[in-house]
Structures are given as structure tokens and as C-alpha cells.
Amino acid sequence: MSKMGSENTVAVLRQKISPSKPQITPADKVFEKNLHKALSQSALQLFGLKLQILSHRICYEPASSIAKITEPFLMLGLLENSETDPGFIALDQVALAGLVTIQTLGCILPELTHRRAATLTDAALIAPLIEQTMQNLQNNDQSKFDLGHISYYRFSRMLADAHRVSLAVQSERFVTYCMELAMGDSQHTAKIIMAFPVSQNKVDEKTSTVPQKIEAERKVFFLYPRNLTPNFIVFILLGRVYRN
């Protein structure tokens, strides 16, 4: 067998045994833009310190890789929907610290929560805020995204570790929205992942794409009141103020 023929045979074998990834469709891009539109609209309701979306990317992930993806994150939560399989959300230490300190102190002080574990109290605080994220998307036509009714998802419970996430989810593949944010004057970048199950008919096993990091076309600023009292819970990613 010639050298060229041998190389072609090896390439074909590698293609067959390597896991393929479905194509990122135009509908996925539309959903991604709608997500950022909802965030920017809620930003208009706030004023004060800014929070900026640095970049975001969208990709598909098989269930087998969920544990590896979520392992670096501090807060892991299950997003449940009565009509579809559950999804999940993951926040790193900087993102969770921002939510906790702004709710209790009215400012972002990641140092106060440095190197601590996520608690059930943290989960109770962010649960209604995550649900509001879903509700902010309710005006969009979710049927064309084949992701179910996003606005019906709720933050049902905190998960102890990345392996618990893998055990809790039921779908074989997820579409993930990964965001990097600069929170206030912090030198650290906050990271958040929102993932939803993908129905089987949306998966194209014959195509393979490499997810690319997409810089935000516009800088979106989230503002919040400087003098926030403990009687309010502010979710800086949504721009919603909740009264206890």
C-alpha cells in the first residue's frame, strides 16, 4: 500500500472512531442574541457600578463531558422543566461572590468569599434570580430553537459536585452558553455556563464544528444601586430587584 493510501485509511478510521459534534445552527445564534438582548434590556433599569460582558461562546457538549466542564465551577445547580429533561447552570467563585456580596453588602467584594465552598444559603438566594433569567426570554419564540420552553425552567436544587451534575441530567447532549464577565472593579473574570438539553432530531452526527469564541459585538453594561439595603436581592446579570 502506498504512503498516501495508508494516510487516507488512517484518516478515515480516525474520523469514524472520533466523536462528532453537531453543527451550530442559525437558530442557535438567534437564541444567543436574544439572551444578550434580554440582559441588556434589564440593564437599563439599573444605575451605579458597571458589569461588562467580555465574551461569549456557544457549543454542543455530550453528557459524558459534563463533569469535566463543570469541575472548575463553584456553584452548580439543576435547572428543571416539567416538559423536558433538566439542564444546569454553573457559576465560578468570582460570579458567585459577586451575587452574594451585592445582595448582602451592596457591592462586589470577591475577597470576602475567597476560597470558600458554596452553601445552601447561596443556592436559596440565587434560585429566584436564575428563574428570572428564564422568564426574561419568554417573549421569544422558543419553538424554533427546539430547546423546550426556556421560561419554564426553575432552579430546583444545588448539586454538590461535578459528578452529581452528570448523574442528575438525563439527556445525551446539551447546548451550552458560556459567558465571561468583568464584575465591577475586580481584576478577576467571572464565568457562567447555562446549559439546556438538545432533542435528538437537532443533532447532526455527520457534521463537525469547532466552537469559536465570539467577542461581543457591543459592550453591555449592567448597573446596580450603590446603596443597596439588605431588604433587596439584586441579580446583576438580570437587572431585577426583588423585595423579600
pLDDT digits (tens, 9 = 90+) for 92-129: 888 888 777 766 666 666 666 666 788 888 888 777 76
On whether residue 10 sits in a domain, the answer given is: no
- Alpha helices (H) in the chain, listed in sequence order: 3-17, 26-43, 66-70, 93-104, 120-135, 162-168
**Which residues, 6+ apart, have CB-to-CB distance to 149 below 8 Å?**
81, 83, 84, 142
Report if residue 132 sits inside a domain.
Answer: yes
What's the confidence (pLDDT) of residue 219?
35
Per-residue model confidence (pLDDT) at position 120: 87
Which residue has 459534563 as its cell numbers? 66
Strand ranges (DSSP E) for 168-225?
A: 173-183, 189-197, 214-215, 221-224
CATH number of residue 56's parent domain: 3.40.1550.10
- Would you say the pTM of this structure is higher than 0.85? no
pLDDT at 24: 54
**What is the total count of domains within the chain?**
1
The better pLDDT of the pair 4, 222 is held by 4
Which residues make beta-bridge pairs with 179? 56, 192
Distance CA 153, CA 135 (A): 9
Pick the more confident residue, 192 or 206: 192
pLDDT band at 59 (very low <50, low <70, confident <90, very high): confident
122-169 tens-digit pLDDT: 888 777 767 766 666 555 544 444 454 455 678 888 888 888 888 888
Q: Has residue 11 been placed in a domain?
A: no
CA distance linking residue 232 with residue 234, whole number of Å: 6
Residue 228 structural domain? 26-243
Residue 87: closest CA among 18, 174, 182:
174
Identify which of 100, 70, 90, 85 has the alpha carbon closest to the alpha carbon of residue 235.
100
Does 191 fall in a domain? yes
Residues 6+ apart with CB under 8 A from 121: none
pLDDT of residue 205: 42
Q: Given pLDDT bands bounded at 50, 70 and 90, which one contains residue 215?
A: very low
Within-domain flag for 16: no
Per-residue pLDDT, 218: 30
What's residue 235's pLDDT?
38
Residue 140 lies in a domain: yes
Confidence at residue 47, expressed as pLDDT on a 0 to 100 scale: 32
Residue 48 has pLDDT above 50, yes or no: no
State which H helix or E strand residue 87 sits in. Answer: strand 84-91
pLDDT higher than threshold 80 for residue 229: no
> Taking Cα atoms as reference points, which of 104, 103, 83, 101 lies closest to residue 93?
101
Give percent of the chain above pLDDT 90: 1
* CA dihedral of residues 146, 152, 158, 164 (deg, nearest 10): -30
Decide if 122 is inside a domain: yes
Residue 10 banded pLDDT, cuts 50, 70, 90: low
Average pLDDT of the chain is 63
Burial of 212 (0-12, 13-18, 19+ CB in 10 A): exposed
Question: Around Cβ 139, how many Cβ atoms within 10 Å?
Answer: 12
**33: in domain:** yes
Q: What pLDDT is attached to residue 138?
A: 56
